[in-house]
Structure 1
């Protein structure tokens, strides 16, 4: 039934309690009526009592309830959707962005360019559930997160999670978790700031959370971002209003503190934070693959768990990429801060140095071109994004978008590569940057061997100090380099 992992591999993962497979498939037990993640610590069920499902929604459609011990719906999302650009992969990303809740199945199908029937049929064939069932599962997961955080009244949780009525909310929680909303209510683990919701974002280890936050903090633009004492904050432009998020390293999780104008935006905000930090990556598999290369392996051993930083707003990232080409980091921050002050939308409730939203593309298009050819490229990009001629939403076709970007006047290959890697989440981009190419030559490496993970290889190459050439088999001699042009935006 649809995309299911090989039985032999599945049972081996279950017997070893291997957490790498959490989110890849789900284990339902017919004698108990519950479904689990592969690493569940409960007693191993008999094979004849097991059914395997490709998604939590598929297990729920077949009447199984989530295990209260391993909480399978709290596992990091399947990394498969970060790799696939077909109809199902794009649909899963759009559903995670809340498109079905806001625009219905018709809106989802329109964005994908297929009929509702085609989208439903393909999703059922691949993941065992249609778009409505997948959206319902996401609403239930959001409700569980809020209930366990314990910071909101139950009625607020219902509407923040996307339910249209308290009755629908209660019925869904009972069907999915076999309990009431009050039964899921947790105690507040961390005292939240006034008006804030604090959540724990899971990821697959290893992950160098501090390195990811340092990367973002080094490029923080005054007005929309702030980096202080290891905590990264930024503004978010969301479907129903603005928000501010603060991200900090936690014990085997990322602490996510959200301040939202409208609680209906919670699920979308969480999803954007996950994409920003690349939390759904199967990092152990990526590191194992790249670490096996004799040239790159020592760098991976030195810095395991390096993720590819994403973005909170693809349009913003695209504009920053175009502006950042051949611009020094300090000057780039000053230019962006000026744009934010002149054209950004002030927040109703500023948080520290986070006072504005990044200007929307319509405002930048109306502001006109800057100086020279670079200004004309920025204006062309802003107009294309504002008009919808180019769309960078998670459900876009990345191959088509790449061609559209390259057709813009003056658009550089470097900027397009940056957009593909950080805005579209392409895992196989080797940045055409001097520092990266110099590192490839220094290591005498063959980058094609790193497919399909060259975006992750780029993170390691950008940290290689060219001033200290060393034998590639000596990881102790490899040091972190200066911030390079490849990492400016």
Structure 2
């Protein structure tokens, strides 16, 4: 999959595979392994820096040896000399090598690399789990256990490919969480430190100074966040283009009463997080999404942010995806009519899996009614309801014992509750597919829906007559859409009638 992703990143990456000549001054740039860990060639990286191309933000980071600062590729600062530049694949790698974050372009707030969302190997799975806060909650031993490797092997592989070990990556995550909390409101510094996952105030202060070259109070003064009592507001960045209203409307049209609500372009939902419950409200901003979070425990901030990012597909390189699909003669006009159409993910893997099972051969309104009944009867009420949001989705251990539930639903809930089936950010998608196929009565449609929305597989062709009819209408060849067939499915669902009323 990785090779196909590299091959389809769009016109801006057309230089991949070509090496600059020995006389090119760009060869004096400091590299690891000659290229940026095999991802982006140096001439392409410099072209992105010279054009201030924001699509590359998060793909790599630019460090300048003369200033000790690292930036986004799109930073508006004066272009450094090639001999003074070092490029890193992660912010943690730059920090490990002694560089601090630029306070002008704020590289730590850049969208994440889309590579970590699509890779299914050890590195991709590890990066997703670290972003979800597993190291802070379970330590490196817990991370290694989830991945099925030794701690030494995980550390070695991460250092070799992304330039930093799991502890350094988690430290960067904690620093980013602390910055968001400091900018979001007047929380005491001690509360910010422990909510971000730091073990002590001293460790917190030292990290902020090393990463941002300022004190926590100085970082708070630089923030632009607004504050409401009990609400943490953050900005969620993405690479343009993105059809934000279409994404929020898609989620709103499928909202389950009690756990979701959509009104006037604003989408809200409850979240079951590692340390407690939360409610997030998402609304369009100017080049970003505004996310308001009401959390029972502030330690869940990083996990809530990551779940919102996966739900909204914010780390995708959408311009490259649209360019690839738009070149298809059949699908091209459909893509051109709706640029920036992203692939909805999920905020709760178990919930989406149950939705997929209930939606088989069921009208959307009927499926939502059945889900609303489950929420009302078996969901845990929120301690502090927020408008129409009153419950969490039922726990899998509860659904596994519901006598009125179908056999497939009970078997799926039982496997998720017993953790014989894992649908978290670090699961092996190939093993998950085999486990789902082993559940008696599990439909191919439900499995494809889980692969597409829970596992984030970008190359799923939904089975069924409606999709075949849509493909026939376009006179298209779906194999030409690889590796982005899941995104093609989003466009097909907007060609009524294509999806038979079922949830996707």
TM-score bracket, shorter-length normalisation:
over 0.9
What is the CA-CA distance between 1:315 and the residue it aligns to? 0.7
Alpha-carbon distance in 1 for matches of 2:500, 2:248: 18
Q: Could you say which residue in structure 1 is the equivalent of 2:184?
A: 149
Does 2:496 match 1:488?
Answer: no
CA distance in 1, matches of 2:179, 2:502: 37
Normalised to the residue count of structure 2, the TM-score between the two structures is: 0.91
What's the offset of the Cα at 1:164? 1.5
Partner of 1:250: 285
Identify the residue that residue 48 of structure 1 maps to in structure 2.
83
Output the CA distance in 1 between the equivalents of 2:206 and 2:229: 31
When residues 403 and 24 of structure 1 are mapped into structure 2, their CA distance, relative to the original with a 3 A threshold, is same
2:298 pairs with one of 263, 267, 270: 263
Shift of 1:155: 2.0
Pair 1:450 & 2:450 matched? no
Q: Return the TM-score normalized by structure 1.
A: 0.94
Give matches, 1:56-205, under 5 Å.
56-186=91-221, 189=224, 191-205=226-240
CA pair 465-330 structure 1, distance change in 2 beyond 3 A: closer
Segments of structure 1 that go 5 or more residues without pairing to the other structure are 467-480
2-structure distance, mates of 1:166, 1:173: 11
Equivalent of 1:431 in 462, 468, 472? 462
> What does residue 452 of structure 2 align with?
421
Larger CA deviation: 432-441 vs 455-464: 432-441
Is residue 433–residue 485 contact of structure 1 (8 Å, CA) maintained in 2? no
Task: For residues 72-99 of structure 1, give each alpha carbon's deviation from its aligned partner in whole angstroms, at most 9, with x where no partner exists.
Answer: 1110000001111000110000001100
Pair 1:307 & 2:342 matched: yes
Deviation of 1:193 after TM superposition, in Å, equals: 3.7
Q: Which residue of 1 aligns with 2:434?
A: 403
Q: Cα deviation per residue 1:166-185 (whole Å; 9 max; x = unaligned)?
A: 11111000001111111111
Q: Please point out which of 42, 64, 68 is paired with 1:33.
A: 68
Q: Distance in 2 between matches of 1:405 and 1:486?
A: 24
Q: Which moved more, 1:184-193 or 1:158-167?
A: 184-193
The one-character-per-residue Cα deviations of 1:356-404 (angstroms, maximum 9, x if unpaired) are: 100010000122353xxxx111111111111111100110000110111
Query: Would the aligned equivalents of 2:96 and 2:168 in 1 still touch at CA under 8 Å?
Result: yes
The answer to whether the 8 Å contact 1:435/1:486 transfers is no
Cα root mean square deviation, aligned? 1.4
SS of the residue corresponding to residue 206 of structure 2 reads helix
Instruction: Confirm or deny: 8 A CA contact 2:225 2:234 kept in the other structure.
Output: no
Q: Is the 8 A contact 1:436 1:486 kept in 2?
A: no
Q: Is the 8 A contact 2:380 2:392 kept in 1?
A: yes
Change (3 A) 1:485 1:99: farther
Q: What SS does the corresponding residue of 1:237 show, helix, strand or coil?
A: strand
2:402 matched residue in structure 1:
367
Q: For residues 395 and 364 of structure 2, what CA distance do their matches in structure 1 show? A: 22
| 1:298 pairs with 2:333 | yes
Deviation at 1:195, TM superposition (A): 1.0
Stretch of structure 1 that moved more, 289-298 or 185-194:
185-194
Where does residue 285 of structure 1 map in the other structure? Answer: 320
C-alpha distance in 2 between matches for 1:18 and 1:191: 29
Q: Displacement of 1:264 after TM fit?
A: 0.3
3-state secondary structure, aligned to 1:366: coil
Q: Any conservation in 1 of the 2:364–2:501 contact (CA below 8 Å)?
A: no
Matched residue, 1:472 = none
Aligned to 2:263: 228
How far did 1:158 drift?
A: 1.2
Shift of 1:154: 2.1
Kept in 2: contact 1:150–1:186 (CA 8 A): no
Match of 2:11 in 1: none
1: CA distance, partners of 2:262 / 2:465: 28
Contact 2:53 2:74 in 1 (8 A): yes
Deviation at 1:105, TM superposition (A): 0.3
Q: Secondary structure of 2:423's partner?
A: coil
By how many angstroms is 1:147 displaced?
A: 1.7
Answer yes or no: is the 8 Å Cα contact 1:225–1:234 preserved in 2: yes
Aligned to 1:216: 251
**Counterpart contact for 1:18–1:38, Cα < 8 Å:** yes
Q: More displaced, 150-159 or 7-16?
A: 150-159
Between the aligned partners of 2:155 and 2:487, the Cα distance in structure 1 is 33
Aligned to 2:407: 376
CA distance 1:444–1:86, change in 2 (3 Å): same
Q: Which residue of 2 aligns with 1:393?
A: 424
Cα offset, 1:189, TM superposition: 4.7
Which of 351, 365, 368 aligns to 1:330? It is: 365
Q: How far 1:162 sits from its partner (Å)?
A: 1.1
What is the CA-CA distance between 1:485 and the residue it aligns to?
4.0
**1:47-78 CA distance string (max 9 Å, x none):** 00001111110000000011111111110000
